[in-house]
Amino acid sequence: MKANSSKQKVIDAASVLFFQNGFHGTSVRDIADRASVNVSLISYYFKSKQGLLEYAVTQYYEAYLEIIENTLKQANSLTSMEKLKKLIFAIIQYKQSNHQFTCFIHRELSLDSVFVREMAVTYLAKENYFISNTFFDILKQNKQKVENSQFLLMQLKGMLITPYVLQNEWKDHVVGESSQNYFVKKYVQTIHQWLDFILVTKDENYTANNFVSKNE
């Protein structure tokens, strides 16, 4: 139990420092000092700083994908739109609860490194599968033939990462747990409103096709 606690302290310290200083700007000594552990303990658990990064990213994405899968299973009896809205809430809530490491990961994803490409083949491909399938299920359920639906999906995925790519835009507005919860609620609500507008049913005055054609 004590070893696991120390291991998590190292991961938490590394997450903060990677976010603040970048991977290359953070030394093993920096991590050890912040976690109040001996440098040798980091070598024992992770072998190297690269090993620590790989472990932390794997832990992050495995927990993330587990939450996505569980959310979709629990929402299985709901409509496709309700399921997607629950998925969006779960995604933003998880990313916000791991804000600094989420920002670090998305910053690294903007760099075409070997490590990032390896992540894209595994975890990011699974994430894309779940989001894309859930999104397109709405169109199938409502029998909508939406032009440029891939671009709409791209917009949705962009909204899911924007707060963590442009974190400086939000840093003065999200401070403390209550503020974090408020941000999740309001930001998710905004995405839901966007979905309601572009993916309305045939009975509404506007369709997703209208939305696309009027903004071309």
So where are the chain's domains? 1-47, 56-214
**Would you identify the CATH topology of the domain 56-214?**
Tetracycline Repressor; domain 2 (1.10.357)
List the single range of 44-48, 137-141, 206-210 with lowest mean pLDDT. Answer: 206-210
67: nearest Cα among 132, 127, 155, 128: 127
Which of 131-135, 169-173, 177-181, 195-199 is least confident?
169-173
Q: What is the CATH number of domain 1-47?
A: 1.10.10.60
Digit-coded pLDDT (tens) for 136-162: 988 877 665 566 788 899 999 999 999
Asked if 198 and 152 touch (Cβ cutoff 8 Å), the reply is: yes
CA dist 205 and 187 (Å) reads 26
Kindly state the average pLDDT of the residues 104-108.
Answer: 89
Higher pLDDT, 200 or 70: 70
Count, in order, helices (H) and strands (E) of the chain.
Answer: 11, 0
In this structure, are residues 183 and 92 in contact, taking their beta carbons and an 8 Å threshold?
A: no
Question: In Å, how far from its chain's centre is CA 17?
Answer: 19
Residue-level pLDDT at 199: 78
User: How would residue 202 be classed by pLDDT, with cut points 50, 70 and 90?
Assistant: very low
